[in-house]
Amino acid sequence: MPEKPFKIYVVEDSEWYNKLLVYTLSLNPDYEIKSFFNGSDFLKCLHESPDIVTLDYRLPDMTGLELLNKIRQENSEAQVILISEQSDINMVVTLLKMGAVDYITKSDDIKERLLNTVKNIRDGIGMKREITTPAQGDPEEI
């Protein structure tokens, strides 16, 4: 059975950062990338079950907190990475408590941090699938 594509959805209203994130992630041919410039357009595609969502905190139509709540309600399996210039540590802690996997600030090392976080998430998802997938083969060997 072919493995399903690893979907990463980028939700970022800054055109420059959106292109940077999409380009960085698309360097890996195993990733299927879609980008969105606001929360509403993203929510229309949430049913497509992305594996990872990178989420800007300040979007034109809603906050990252509102969007994270909606993601959690509809797809608890999606791993959310917040990427923002948000400097309020209390807000960052709240977002992490609500289920964001990581918080990455918009800085010079954003590409390395993003790729490292995505790799760690993907490795974790792969292990989880291996553990929960029944072994194939002769039942007597199991």
Kindly report, residue by residue over 48-81, the tens digit of the pLDDT. Answer: 999 999 999 999 999 988 999 999 999 889 999 9
> What distance in Å separates the CA atoms of residue 62 and residue 14, rounded to the nearest whole number?
14
Q: pLDDT value at position 126?
A: 61
| pLDDT per position as a tens digit, 79-137 | 999 998 877 788 888 888 999 999 998 988 999 999 999 999 998 876 655 555 555 55
Q: What angle do CA 15, 43, 18 make, to 5 degrees?
A: 15
The more confident residue out of 107 and 44 is 44
Q: What is the pTM of this model?
A: 0.84
Structural domains in the chain, CATH included, are 6-141 (3.40.50.2300)
Q: How far apart are CA 130 and CA 142, in angstroms?
A: 15
Three-state SS string over 53-85 comes to: EEEECECCCCEHHHHHHHHHHHCCCCEEEEEEC
Based on the number of CB atoms within 10 Å of its own CB, is 3 exposed (0-12), middle (13-18) or buried (19 or more)?
Answer: exposed
